[in-house]
Structure 1
Amino acid sequence: MSAGLKPAGWRPPSPARARLPAASSGSWAIVAAGAATLALLGYLLNGNLRYQVGVGRVSGYSVAETFSHRPIAFRLLSAAQAWLPDLLSGPAGPPGSWWRVVIFEAGFRLMAAVLAAGTAMLLWAGLRRHWGRAGRPCAIAVYAALVFTAPATGEPDWMAALLATAAVGAGLAFGPHLAGATAGPLLALAALVKISTLPVAAAALLILCAFDRRRGRTAGAVATLAGLLAVGLTYWLAPYEIGWLLDIRALQPDPWDSEHAVEAGHYLMNLVARWPTVAMLPAYFVGARRDEAWVAGAGLALTGFGFVYQGQYFVYHSLGFVVLSAALAVRTLQRSRGALRWPMLALTAWTLVLFVSPGDWRVAHPVRLYLIAGGWIIALTAWQWFALRRPPTRTHAAGDRWAALLVMAAMLATQTPFSAESLTLSTADRTSWGAHRALRSELADAERIHRLIGTDTPVAYLAFGATTYIVGNPTRCRYPSPLFLQRPLAREKVSSASRAESLGCLTDPDARWLVWDRDWLRRKSAPDDLLQTIDRHWDCAAARIIGGYTICPRRT
């Protein structure tokens, strides 16, 4: 048994107890998790994931050679996740058909659930060596945090959290030598899927070191070597990737000015309101041993730095932080021995009601809602303080059962079809139900476009990448969604080679139509060289307007 982290009240399990399945503390939670997973398979993917899949389908180049505003490690892993769903959904219809989209996206989410289940099992196997059966609720909670995150399941931040968790599980579950050989590459991948996910990998390494310092050092060394090797191979085999990463970073906003500090405050309160496990974080530190508190605080600081550093406060940027909060919530509930179960249920019910309330009302009353969220933090922390000074009301086994089920319920509170993606952010009015209605409208527009130009006619796109997924007509271009032409400051900040190649896609003689989303790229804000290229090659005076798209024929 390692001398690392152990749960409060932990006792070495007897051989007989270690063999028990502990059905009372986990079986119901596992059944509930499986049922909820199946119920949520019909939820749609977000625009970023459609962007990634769509540009890979239409570009005419390999996924590794196609720009999608994501690093090559993520592009390859995401393509692997999409391969089987793409294969199975292809016969359901042409690009832009309802059943092809629905089957693909359900399959994509199912693949994510399978990966999350494997990660949770690996984590459970590792924690069992240190905590006995007390580790199972933690693994179930991590599964819930990874799967019940629609519509962001599959984002780079999600994948980093998945890989980092798998690294901790592998580092604890296997023998000393195999542990480092498996955990290290997983940590490297977690750091490579996005520029900002290195802190998530670092947090996982810190947690692994807290359990077993020797295994952590080995995993860290292997991760460093694997990461350097991956960067070297990328520079050798795909040197354009380095330029793309530098271009992406050049377009990111500065996260250190006062305006972003205010945004970060709003964002944190949105996280507290959306996830009860985040509201419970201060309660974790009440009664925690110093070594546990230090590791948890450092892990939260690292995963929090990951989303602050990005300077763009979308909810999915915090998934590494949220997954860690789910694991810590289990530990908090286990220590309370049942005392926090009713406050946690009440907070979960409040969260469910709050996120189906009208978005306009929530956006109009942010301060009031932030004060309520702060009140919940204080109440949970105080309740835990009093609970630890009273005799326990539940056994350890009952506490484990409650912990797993409560965290799962907390994660599901904002997963109804009518739940908003955020409390007061720009996505405060987005819901799964609304996404289904929007998809119907988008596919109807795609069908009208196909009646005009056909389904296989080559085109050029001036649109967000998700348009390539919905419309699906081929293009011969490594930049199917030309970000470096759309961003106003790109001409001064990104490499001239990237912009020149993006402009060159608009002059491809094989492209017969231009699909232009005027909301994504407005003519009045477009750079002069782009407007000159459009006017020279495309007859937009004779364009057809279909939905939000301007369909320009090629000049003859």
Structure 2
Amino acid sequence: MDLAETVPDQARRTPVRGWVWAGVAALPVALTVAWIGLGFDVRYVLGGLRVTGGSTDVWVDRPLAYRWLMDGLGAVDVGSVGTGEGLVRLVALAFVAGAAWWLRAGLTRWVRPGEASAVAAAVGLALALAPNWDFLQPEWVAAVFAVAAVGAALTPSTAVLAGLLLALAVLVKYTTLPTALIALGVVAVLDRRRALVAGATAVVSGAALFGLSLLAPREWRWLREAWLFDEAASRSAGAVVRLAANEAVLVPMVALLPASLVVLLRVSRRRWTWLVLTVLAVAAVLGAAVVQGQWAQYHLAALVPFAAALWALAIARWTLVHGRPPWTLVGATVVVLFAARVFLGASFAWRSGHGLVAFGLLGGLVVLSALACAVEPGRHGRQLLSVPVLVGLLALTVPVLPTTPYSFDGVHADYTNAGRVDIEHKFTEELLAVRDRIGADTPVVYLAFGDIAYFLGNPTPCAYPSPAHLRSGTYQQSLRGTASYAENVACLSDESVRYVVLQPLWIDSSELPPEMTAAVLERFDCTRALVDDDVAVCPRAGR
């Protein structure tokens, strides 16, 4: 077991009661649930499933396992948009709490209870307060499954479930394989035999579940075609560095990974194990992002709970060994979160032109923090655990503050959490008026991003509620020859469809292939369209 040295007397003082810290930690989580809503990609999936009435045979650019999960969550998305999304978040947070509890139960058999509690709390809060673009994305869901898998693998009574949970972590997107491997690596650090059992079970159960998923009518075809969407992706080294730098600014715990690792190495016996695990974890997650080549911040979602766990373990273990927290790491956390908050609070115009300045300053702070942690004296002192707990909580809340953008200067850097809430209110009002005009049950076909279907809610007979094939086909010729592209074009000829819902800013009808433009113009009369700021709803010609 990787236990620290003997605990000094001053480390045995009665800590602040757990329910007090639970209440403090629950406050930012509750405030976030009350206002932030869901990310637009999550609405895209929920909207697509809602307007088609099922998850098995609907294209929303996600594997079947994820579609089933989201279909289940969609059952509680009832009432107004704010109420429904709050309920979805609460159910998701219940799973997070369960995974964190399971993690603690498993870890207490291998590390001291204080360390297990610190790690589980940090991981749970990192998932609960994850950037809004991460929350409920497949990468985030995979992280929740992976956390639960670690807990299951380390608990004798539930060890058999670990492999299944790891398999699910992979099946929600496939490129989430690194997340499952990180969890397996954590188990291996503590018990190699259990890691081998969990890995073998994951391979068998994952293969079986994958085979069953291919029984769905279009699943294998969609899986093969999914790679065509990445043909135009950029995979330069500069893009990888920029993605990682954006994540470090957005999530201070990620920026503090080197400093946390240095502290942990100084008080752990298995130093090389932790170093190798951390390096491989970061490389694997970045590698998966390279494979996808789209450079969305949520592709790095697995690093958020991993970094938080490493920070919490470093704080707890140093405190147990030396009787006081590692004040250098605590101080570095304060400085880094303050710098990140200043950078993220700047205007989009400033952030767009000063990326090198911000990344350079933050990089300097990261290096200095790691060096300072490497030379901090190990003498004893007062515990004062309330200070690092509050500092860690503040650091974890940075991504969910109202003015925090979705990235510093990367993809969707012009979106902020508050800005997306404003868009939610705008779409809700506009599309409610449209629905009242055309009738809530009137069939339509969507040439719009999926969150339009989410807010409008009108049913569609088309298996492609958000026509990614048509949109990407405007600049990727290879997609035009696919069976799915032909099926999506055929949706425009469905006799039951009464309106086409166009979102000009998402898909430019003038750039569509000639046959597509003709299909729209011949079947729908856009001279009589209902038009607002975001969509044009054209009735079927002759009606």
TM-score, length-normalised on structure 1? Answer: 0.89
Task: Compare 476-485 and 542-551 and name the one that shifted more.
Answer: 542-551
Match of 1:430 in 2: 415
1:290 and 2:290 correspond: no
Match of 1:263 in 2: 239
Match of 1:525 in 2: 511
Give the whole-Å Cα distance in 1 for the aligned partners of 2:242 and 2:292: 15
Give the whole-Å Cα distance in 1 for the aligned partners of 2:50 and 2:486: 23
CA pair 172-555 structure 1, distance change in 2 beyond 3 A = same
Q: Mapping of 1:412-427 within 5 angstroms?
A: 412-427=397-412
1:381 to 327, 349, 370: 370
Question: Tell me, what secondary structure is at the counterpart of 1:427?
Answer: coil
2:16 to 13, 24, 40: 24
Match of 1:187 in 2: 166
Read off the aligned partner of 2:176 and give its amino acid letter.
Answer: T
1:146 and 2:127 correspond: yes
Give the whole-Å Cα distance in 2 for the aligned partners of 1:510 and 1:265: 49
Question: Tell me, what secondary structure is at the counterpart of 1:379?
Answer: helix
1:160 to 117, 128, 142: 142
Give the whole-Å Cα distance in 2 for the aligned partners of 1:441 and 1:455: 19
Match of 1:338 in 2: 326
CA pair 529-494 structure 1, distance change in 2 beyond 3 A = closer
Give the whole-Å Cα distance in 1 for the aligned partners of 2:185 and 2:459: 46
Give the whole-Å Cα distance in 1 for the aligned partners of 2:435 and 2:103: 48
Q: Answer whether contact 2:339 2:362 (CA < 8 A) is retained.
A: no
Match of 1:52 in 2: 45
Match of 1:245 in 2: 223
1:553 and 2:539 correspond: yes
Give the whole-Å Cα distance in 2 for the aligned partners of 1:479 and 1:12: 63
Match of 1:272 in 2: 248
Deviations 1:395-420 (CA, angstroms, capped at 9, x unpaired): 4xx55x55544332211023222222
Deviations 1:237-270 (CA, angstroms, capped at 9, x unpaired): 214111111111121146674xx32111111111
Give the whole-Å Cα distance in 1 for the aligned partners of 2:233 and 2:503: 29
Deviations 1:125-177 (CA, angstroms, capped at 9, x unpaired): 111111122211111110111010242311111001110111001111234xx
1:327 and 2:309 correspond: yes
1:510 and 2:486 correspond: no
Read off the aligned partner of 2:110 and give its amino acid letter.
Answer: H
The gaps in structure 1 that reach 5 residues or longer are 93-99
Read off the aligned partner of 1:143 and give its amino acid letter.
Answer: G
Read off the aligned partner of 2:98 and give its amino acid letter.
Answer: G
Give the whole-Å Cα distance in 2 for the aligned partners of 1:483 and 1:75: 16
Match of 1:77 in 2: 69
Read off the aligned partner of 2:407 and give its amino acid letter.
Answer: S
- 1:373 is displaced (CA, Å) by 0.8
Read off the aligned partner of 2:420 and give its amino acid letter.
Answer: A
Give the whole-Å Cα distance in 1 for the aligned partners of 2:532 and 2:6: 64
- 1:81 is displaced (CA, Å) by 2.4
Match of 1:113 in 2: 93
Give the whole-Å Cα distance in 2 for the aligned partners of 1:501 and 1:279: 46
Give the whole-Å Cα distance in 1 for the aligned partners of 2:458 and 2:477: 28
2:470 to 453, 472, 485: 485
Read off the aligned partner of 2:46 and give its amino acid letter.
Answer: V
TM-score, length-normalised on structure 2? Answer: 0.91
Match of 2:443 in 1: 458
Match of 1:135 in 2: 116
Match of 1:540 in 2: 526
Question: Tell me, what secondary structure is at the counterpart of 1:477?
Answer: coil
Give the whole-Å Cα distance in 1 for the aligned partners of 2:161 and 2:503: 45
Question: Tell me, what secondary structure is at the counterpart of 2:262?
Answer: coil
Match of 2:321 in 1: none
Give the whole-Å Cα distance in 1 for the aligned partners of 2:534 and 2:396: 35
Give identity over the alignment, percent. 30
- 1:497 is displaced (CA, Å) by 1.6
- 1:391 is displaced (CA, Å) by 1.2
Question: Tell me, what secondary structure is at the counterpart of 1:65?
Answer: coil
Give the whole-Å Cα distance in 2 for the aligned partners of 1:305 and 1:425: 18
The gaps in structure 2 that reach 5 residues or longer are 266-270, 319-324
Question: Tell me, what secondary structure is at the counterpart of 1:355?
Answer: helix
Q: CA RMSD in A?
A: 2.2
CA pair 321-114 structure 1, distance change in 2 beyond 3 A = same
Q: Answer whether contact 1:539 1:552 (CA < 8 A) is retained.
A: yes
Q: Mapping of 1:461-480 within 5 angstroms?
A: 461-480=446-465
Match of 1:364 in 2: 353
1:172 and 2:154 correspond: yes
1:206 to 179, 185, 204: 185
